[in-house]
Structure 1
Amino acid sequence: MNERITGTQLAGLLFSFVFPVLVIPAPGIMASFAKQNAWLAVLPGTLLAVLNIWVMTALSKRYPGLTILQYSEKIVGKWLGKALGLYFFYFWFSLASAAINEHSRFINTFLLPRTPPIVGVGTIILLAALAVYAGIEVIGRCNTFLMIFIFAFLLPLCILALNDANPERLKPVLAEGIVPVLQGGLPISANINQVFLLSWLIPFLHQRQKARKAAMYALLGIAGLIIIVDLLTVMVFGPITGKLTYSFLSLIQFVGIQGSFERLEALAVAIWVAGIFIKVSLCLFMLALCLSNVFGIRSYRDIVAPIALLSLIGAIWAFKTNTDFQQFETFSYPLWAILTQNVLPAALLCIDALKGNARPLLS
Structure 2
Amino acid sequence: MLSNEKISGAQISLLFFTFIVSTLILSVPGIMVSFAKQNAWMSIIPASLTGIVNIYVMTALARRYPGQSIMQYATAICGKWAGKLVGFYCTYYLFFFISSTVNEHAGFLNTNLLLYTPPLVLMATMLLLCGFAVLAGVETIGRCNEVIVLIVLVLLIPIFIFSLRDADPARLTPMLGEGLVPVIRGSVVPSAWMSQFYFLGWFLPHLKEKPEKVRKKLLAALGGIVALIMVVDLLGIMVFGPITPRMKFAFLDVIKYTSIIGPLERLEAIAVTIWILGIFVKISMLLYMFCISATQLFGAKNYRKSVLPITVLSAVGSVWIFKNAAEFEAWITFTFPILALFTQSLLPLLLLAVAVIKAKIVKH
TM-score by length of 1: 0.96
Quote the residue 2:286 is aligned against.
283
Alignment-mate amino acid for residue 137 of structure 1: E
Secondary structure at 2:22 match in 1: helix
The 8 Å contact of residues 14 and 149 in structure 2, kept in 1 or not, is answered as yes
Alignment of structure 1 residues 257-276 onto 2, 5 Å: 260=262, 261-276=264-279
Quote the residue 1:352 is aligned against.
355
Secondary structure at 1:9 match in 2: helix
Indicate yes or no: 2:106 matched with 1:100.
Answer: no
Alignment of structure 1 residues 226-305 onto 2, 5 Å: 226-256=229-259, 260=262, 261-305=264-308
Alignment of structure 1 residues 82-231 onto 2, 5 Å: 82-209=84-211, 210-231=213-234
Measure, in 2, the Cα distance between the counterparts of 1:358 and 1:56: 22
Secondary structure at 1:174 match in 2: coil
Q: Deviations over 1:250-281 (max 9, x none)?
A: 0000012x855312010011000011111111
Quote the residue 1:76 is aligned against.
78
Aligned partner of 2:59 among 49, 57, 60: 57
The 8 Å contact of residues 6 and 208 in structure 2, kept in 1 or not, is answered as yes
Secondary structure at 1:96 match in 2: helix
Q: Deviations over 1:129-153 (max 9, x none)?
A: 1100111001111111111111110
Secondary structure at 1:356 match in 2: helix
Indicate yes or no: 2:358 matched with 1:338.
Answer: no
Q: Give identity over the alignment, percent.
A: 45
Number of equivalences: 359
What's the C-alpha RMSD, in Å, of the aligned pairs? 1.5
Q: Deviations over 1:184-214 (max 9, x none)?
A: 2111110121121111111101113432122
Measure, in 1, the Cα distance between the counterparts of 2:236 and 2:48: 20
Indicate yes or no: 2:330 matched with 1:327.
Answer: yes
Deviation at 1:286, TM superposition (A): 0.7
Measure, in 1, the Cα distance between the counterparts of 2:136 and 2:332: 31
The 8 Å contact of residues 161 and 255 in structure 1, kept in 2 or not, is answered as yes
Alignment-mate amino acid for residue 238 of structure 2: M
Measure, in 1, the Cα distance between the counterparts of 2:323 and 2:210: 42
The 8 Å contact of residues 62 and 359 in structure 1, kept in 2 or not, is answered as no
Alignment-mate amino acid for residue 102 of structure 2: I
Q: Which runs of 5+ in 1 are unaligned?
A: none
The 8 Å contact of residues 130 and 280 in structure 2, kept in 1 or not, is answered as yes
The 8 Å contact of residues 27 and 230 in structure 1, kept in 2 or not, is answered as yes
Indicate yes or no: 2:44 matched with 1:45.
Answer: no
The 8 Å contact of residues 22 and 282 in structure 2, kept in 1 or not, is answered as no
Q: Which runs of 5+ in 2 are unaligned?
A: none
Deviation at 1:177, TM superposition (A): 2.1
Indicate yes or no: 2:298 matched with 1:308.
Answer: no
The 8 Å contact of residues 202 and 211 in structure 1, kept in 2 or not, is answered as no
The answer to which of 80-89 and 205-214 deviates more is 205-214
Alignment-mate amino acid for residue 315 of structure 1: S
The 8 Å contact of residues 103 and 318 in structure 2, kept in 1 or not, is answered as yes
Alignment-mate amino acid for residue 48 of structure 1: T
Measure, in 2, the Cα distance between the counterparts of 1:44 and 1:188: 9
Evaluate the alpha carbon distance shift between residue 66 and residue 359 of structure 1 in structure 2; reply closer, same or farther with a 3 A threshold.
farther
Find runs of 4+ consecutive structure 1 residues off by over 6 angstroms: none
Deviation at 1:336, TM superposition (A): 0.4
The 8 Å contact of residues 104 and 120 in structure 1, kept in 2 or not, is answered as yes
The 8 Å contact of residues 202 and 208 in structure 1, kept in 2 or not, is answered as no
Aligned partner of 2:24 among 22, 25, 35: 22
Q: Deviations over 1:214-245 (max 9, x none)?
A: 21121111111100111111111111111110
